[in-house]
Amino acid sequence: MKHLLLAAIVSTGAWAWAGSASAQDAAAGAIVFKTQCAGCHSPLEGKNVVGPSLFGIVGRQAGQVPGFKYSAANKESGKTWDEATLNAYITNPQAVVPKTIMPYAGLKNDTQRADLIAYLATIK
């Protein structure tokens, strides 16, 4: 019984480690950005499209990109886009900022989301 418990702990730990290692893949996150975000967002500073520029998003206060017309919900959310808040928002934008006008159902794949956030952290 102890061997089975130890095997379960070790294999769970190895799986968690492997998941966190791939979660740091900013290059894979750049691909996720291109397929999931680039239709509405630019990674370039000052370049707003349908959505605001995501340049410098990690650590930025929500609703603060100059020249972009945000929804009242986003502007008044009081959110700061840290990794945990981005993770929740990218999973389900409407759950994190009710009445947001971002028409995105969310990215449900944990690894892709973590990779995307790793990429977003590099564009500053």
Q: Give the amino acid at 112.
A: Q
The whole-number pLDDT of residue 17 equals 31
Element (DSSP H or E) covering residue 95: helix 93-96
CA dihedral (101, 45, 42, 115) positive or negative? negative
CA–CA distance, 52 with 66 (Å, rounded to integer): 9
CA–CA distance, 111 with 124 (Å, rounded to integer): 22
Q: Give the amino acid at 40.
A: C
The whole-number pLDDT of residue 24 equals 78
What the block records as the tokens of 19 is 């998941």
pLDDT digits (tens, 9 = 90+) for 3-57: 333 333 333 333 333 344 444 799 999 999 999 999 999 999 999 999 999 999 9
DSSP reduced 3-state for 94: helix
CA–CA distance, 39 with 19 (Å, rounded to integer): 28
The whole-number pLDDT of residue 18 equals 37
pLDDT digits (tens, 9 = 90+) for 55-104: 999 999 999 999 999 999 999 999 999 999 999 999 999 999 999 999 99
Q: Which residues contact 104 (CB under 8 A, 6 or more apart)?
A: 40, 93
Q: Output the CA torsion 25→38→81→89 (10° steps).
A: -90
Q: Give the amino acid at 5.
A: L
DSSP reduced 3-state for 43: coil
